[in-house]
Amino acid sequence: MNKPVVLVVMDGVGWTEKDKGNAVLHAYKPQLDELMSVWPHTTIKASGTAVGLPSDDDMGNSEVGHNALGCGQIYSQGAKLVNESIESGKIYASNAWQDAVKFVKDHDGKLHFIGLLSDGNVHSNISHLIAMLKQSKEEGLKEVRVHILLDGRDVPETSALKYVDQLEEVLAGLNDENYHACIASGGGRMVITMDRYEADWSMVEKGWQIHVCGEGRKFESAKEAIETYRAEGGYTDQFLPGFVVAHDGVPAGTIDDGDSVLLYNFRGDRAVELSKAFDYMNTGFSGFEQTKKPNVYYAGMLQYDGDLKLPEHFLVEPPHIEHTMSEFLVNKGVKSFACSETQKFGHVTYFWNGNRSEKFSDELETWVEVPSDIIPFEKKPWMKATEITDLMVEAIESGKYQFLRCNYPNGDMVGHTGNYEATLIGVESVDLMLRRIMDACKKMDYVLLVTADHGNSDEMYDKGTNPDGTPKPKTSHSLARVPFAIYNGPEGTEVKDSQDLGLANIAATVVKLLGYEPPKEWLESITK
């Protein structure tokens, strides 16, 4: 009784009874409640070691989550991968590090670090930056600049000064008559530099003007910039406008001919566009008009896109993911369909396929992207859920595909805003669309699997309260387990009773329901 399978990923929807602003628990969600009570269901791991991160105290994220979903295995990821390289010293023996240092020395230039300044362990970790700063002094470099992107998303929303103070203390301890390092520019991650999926190139253009050209509002220090912007506009860290650190009107560190630039973020989605701006600078780059094109050596922490070989130079080898579900299904002649809106399209394609931007088969794989609106997510928390559902229902009812997958970004993207009321609407919007997917699966006799890639909207309140007594918003992911339910499965379908199952167990579950024996490399199926 093998059937076609539909997999729905509700991004950022953790499943827990803990109530710290739990927008999932309190949302009106009759479909999800039905799935997690009437039908075979369980909860599974979506963070920490279950998705290849250093410890179980590390929050999961969409990238490692979709890697695990798409390959059925656990690979060392992100922070763990970089930690291992720094601890072993391999990062400093890499061609990219050695060449970056040599380029600076040969041209009497500066070494620049650009990246997210926090210990959120999702895009970056300040400890990696500090380790490389110390090594840059050991290498005999003289001038080093740091361009800081403020977080407030994977860490508390107004925690930037904690990390700025930590960095300034390190810099003060390193600086002497032979070595000078300082913060040169910065801004919020959702305003400059860290756009993804080419949703808003103007963000990267703003970052280019600030980091490269030194053009922007000037302050004597990063601390002054942060405190001034907060006082003027009440900005949280991720939305803080860009700034240039300058003394007597002179920028502390523009990026010029003869400099080397290292992007120390390890997560790929929000690193690709800046990498294109540097790597493609002289080969037809069209993202925005580059008024300044310095001759620099550029490298990323990782190679963020293996198919595009982007960037050309990188410090740490990314995980080489093999035996993905897509490749397995293509080899079996199975037609598949993947859909999401721009904000998560790369997750059901690039990350799902083991960090490959290309399909394994143009004939057998169909990918459809719904363009995301460029609007604050709390202003339109339903996002593109209806359009994604329209496409999914059409694809299911066409009967063309044996495996279909989609991602609804609402629980994550709206959850990151810290707006509890908007997040309730986001969760409820997805639940409303689940009914249509369920009905289509029942009509066509397809199996529906519903899960999430990590928690977020289940924990919207942080510790403490605001001055007015209201709960302090939490904008980062949570450590919650995530739901997993099977709707309209073959008769007698049951799920295993184990607390050790995680996202990587879903691949074997899918192919088993399709009637195939999972590869030996994969973790076991969730079904008995």
pLDDT in tens, 164-215: 999 999 999 999 999 999 999 999 999 999 998 788 999 999 999 999 999 9
Quickly state the pLDDT bin for 57 (edges 50, 70, 90): confident
Confidence (pLDDT) at 320: 85
Confidence (pLDDT) at 55: 85
Q: Stretch 516-525: mean pLDDT, rounded?
A: 97
How do strand 5-10 and strand 447-451 relate by DSSP bridges? parallel
* Whole-angstrom distance, CA of residue 410 vs CA of residue 273: 23
Quickly state the pLDDT bin for 440 (edges 50, 70, 90): very high
* Whole-angstrom distance, CA of residue 321 vs CA of residue 300: 19
Query: Is residue 1 pLDDT above 70, yes or no?
Result: no
Q: Stretch 344-348: mean pLDDT, rounded?
A: 96
228 three-class SS:
helix
Domain coordinates of the chain in residue numbers? 5-77+320-514, 79-300
Q: How many residues does the chain have?
A: 528
**181 token code pair:** 């390092």
* Whole-angstrom distance, CA of residue 254 vs CA of residue 110: 9
Query: Is residue 162 pLDDT above 60, yes or no?
Result: yes
Determine whether 331 is exposed, middle or buried from the number of CB atoms within 10 Å of its CB (0-12, 13-18, 19+).
exposed
Confidence (pLDDT) at 261: 98
**336 token code pair:** 């598949």
Confidence (pLDDT) at 303: 87
- The topology under which CATH files domain 5-77+320-514 is Alkaline Phosphatase, subunit A (3.40.720)
Query: Is residue 306 pLDDT above 70, yes or no?
Result: no
Query: Is residue 305 pLDDT above 80, yes or no?
Result: no
Quickly state the pLDDT bin for 465 (edges 50, 70, 90): confident
* Whole-angstrom distance, CA of residue 521 vs CA of residue 204: 40
Q: Give the position of tokens 């299911």.
A: 396
Catalytic residue numbers, as ranges: 62
Q: Within 10 Å of residue 390's Cβ, how many Cβ atoms?
A: 15
**Contact 513/501 with Cβ under 8 angstroms?**
no
Query: Is residue 317 pLDDT above 90, yes or no?
Result: no
* Whole-angstrom distance, CA of residue 369 vs CA of residue 342: 6
Query: Is residue 267 pLDDT above 90, yes or no?
Result: no
Q: What are phi and psi for residue 303, nearest 5 degrees?
A: -85, 110
- The topology under which CATH files domain 79-300 is 3.40.1450
Q: Within 10 Å of residue 165's Cβ, how many Cβ atoms?
A: 12
220 three-class SS:
coil
**Bridge partners of residue 147, in order along the sequence:** 114, 185
Q: Stretch 472-488: mean pLDDT, rounded?
A: 94
* DSSP codes joined into one string, 269-331: TTTHHHHHHHHTTTTT--SS--S-----EEEESS-SBTTTTBSSSBSSPPP---S-HHHHHHH
Q: Stretch 331-359: mean pLDDT, rounded?
A: 95
How many Cα atoms within 13 Å fall on the side-chain side of residue 451? 32
Confidence (pLDDT) at 357: 87
Confidence (pLDDT) at 476: 84
**Contact 406/11 with Cβ under 8 angstroms?**
no
Determine whether 99 is exposed, middle or buried from the number of CB atoms within 10 Å of its CB (0-12, 13-18, 19+).
middle
Confidence (pLDDT) at 53: 87
Query: Is residue 266 pLDDT above 70, yes or no?
Result: yes
351: DSSP letter: I
Mean pLDDT of the chain: 96
Confidence (pLDDT) at 203: 98
Quickly state the pLDDT bin for 419 (edges 50, 70, 90): very high
Quickly state the pLDDT bin for 244 (edges 50, 70, 90): very high
Give the angle subtended at the CA of 266 by the CAs of 409 and 521, to the nearest 5°: 75
Confidence (pLDDT) at 126: 98
Query: Is residue 380 pLDDT above 90, yes or no?
Result: yes
Q: Stretch 312-328: mean pLDDT, rounded?
A: 93
| pTM for this predicted structure | 0.76
Query: Is residue 307 pLDDT above 60, yes or no?
Result: no
* Whole-angstrom distance, CA of residue 477 vs CA of residue 59: 6
